Structure 1
Amino acid sequence: MADPVLRKIIHVDMDAFFASVEQRDRPDLRGRPVAVGGSRARGVVAAASYEARVFGVRSAMPSVTALRRCPDLVFVSPRFEVYHAISQQIRGIFRDFTDLIEPLSLDEAYLDVTLDRRALGSARRTAEAIRARIAAETGLTASAGVSYNKFIAKLASDQNKPDGLCVIPPAAGAAFVAGLPVRRFHGVGPVTARRMEALGIVTGADLRARSLSFLETHFRSHARYLYEAARGEDHRPVRTSRPAKSVGAERTFETNLSDPDELRTALARVADAAWTRIERRDTRGRTVTLKLRHADFRTLTRARSHARPVTDQARFLEIGQTLLDGLMPVPDGVRLLGLTLSGFVGEEQAPEQPALF
């Protein structure tokens, strides 16, 4: 059999996207540590500028922790409608170079540029042209990784951040992966990384030294992914459609709630916001998941799956209320509630990429 066509993949990742937009639009924030989301009193950081990251401020970090690490941190309310508009502008730039675009979020995407639409001569030049267009048209910087598959392209885009470019050709792929810590592998979360380290697996080279049967014993269904990743292999195509795995909403409260009736009322409001999004998507699912964050930031999730899809808001809320009742009482108070629907009818059951946690 003939060898398959070698793909040319670019992973484009905007640099500190939300925070960079705010610094672009507000000159007084430039050069200062900025956190988008949260507040000085409560909430969670949605994004942090590079100036804030120097102090260890990261997304998903409680605001009080971020402020403790960086007392001069400036909190800015998110403007998601602005971020979405800029994201669409960037995707318009992508479409000038390829139709094979797989968005991962508002600020990153895979592009298959195997077909050199603009006759630029190489994937590197295409990535350089895309980054230059983004800078010229949005005033923002993007980093890019260029390689022969998605796994390595994503790793490469993080290699020279911010405003960087990294190209990993096929001949260098396996060696590049071998030298990286497994903690950087997409899909390897902190818990799995600790399990690997307990087994003596710290780098890609350590992972490559383990047999497939060894990995199957310790990592079960994710073994094949890990085995191939350690060898720089990834056969997934760029997919132009990535359906969401869940739809929902969550709310952080100004003051902690502990009264059962107040919590049920708050959940009803969250369910209403979530169901609006579910209706907009015009889908139905079988699994309802409740997310509850305590005053001390301990976060719990509870889920319930049903044989038949949840088809109306009343049933959606009823299941959510049952899950909430199972977690009460909460004398220390609740700072956040979330409710989502997943397990969509007709959805593929296997994830596009393993999520290892």
Structure 2
Amino acid sequence: MFSARRQLINSFRQFSTSSINNYKVSVLGANGGIGQPLSLLLKLNHKVTDLALYDLRGAPGVAADVSHIPTNSTVKGYTPDNDGLATALKGSDVVIIPAGVPRKPGMTRDDLFNTNASIVASLALAVAENSPNAAILIISNPVNSTVPIVAEVLKSKGVYNPKKLFGVTTLDVIRASRFISEVANTDPTKEQVTVVGGHSGITIVPLISKTLHKDIAKDVKDALINRIQFGGDEVVKAKDGAGSATLSMATAGARMANSVLSGLSGEKDIIEPTFIDNPLYKSEGVEFFSSPVTLGPDGVHEIHTLGTIAGFEEEMIAAAKETLKKNIQKGVDFTGQFLAKQK
């Protein structure tokens, strides 16, 4: 019989592949609803040998808690005291930013903008100054705007690397796998659904035509797509005002972090959809777009085209692009004002 310790570690073995490389991962917002379970999952990932947890308060407690888990990594918690943010970031290979306020009932991701934009911009400045070569994973919503904010901040400091800035849209991917399995009565772990576009509402475009279930009835397909696009609302409603998607988002963040680390360590054929500085629709004014990318030692190794898709998906992408233009511009405009205040 497995020991309790072995059962715990094996239960998360998808995040626990041994690696000969040593990686420092920093989590900014580690004491939050996403940050705490994300920190747990990262502690269980054997690619992570140095885990730095930062928050305005409570991060040392989270660090002490997860440090007792018997995996081969060190964990330290930091607060703003004693230049804690800079210390947490120094030498980091991957920085993950889940910091921000959660959605409440009736709130869209865009409603979160003013508060979360300021938080993300301030953290981006710290990353630029202390770990400019790190891969940066943005979870803080609205991702369609916060990723451009980080890009603009990094540009202002002369350290922007488009190959190493990722908007985490993985939650849409795992939701799609789960929801389509419920419709098709299949194993969700076997379902592969490519989700492109952005990370809010109609900007989320699941490419059902590229799955084994492309011929499902139209009414079923329409309901499935709507649920994937607005799955976060289910959680907000079910939590009755007490929070938004945190556990599923932490799982998605841990998966994306693991894939980025796998790419950095030289593993082959690591592909994930992610919201990045993307050439696919740049000629149309869409600077950022989520599409599948192959990850490598330098971050994004290859950006994949969407290939042949169904007519209804082309219509969805057209609508998504118009919304994305506004979301991206909103982030750019905010950053201009933010940086002006820093001078």
For the superposition of Structure 1 and Structure 2, which TM-score range results when normalised by the shorter chain?
under 0.3
Normalising by structure 1, report the TM-score. Answer: 0.25
Higher helix share: 2
* Higher strand residue share: 1
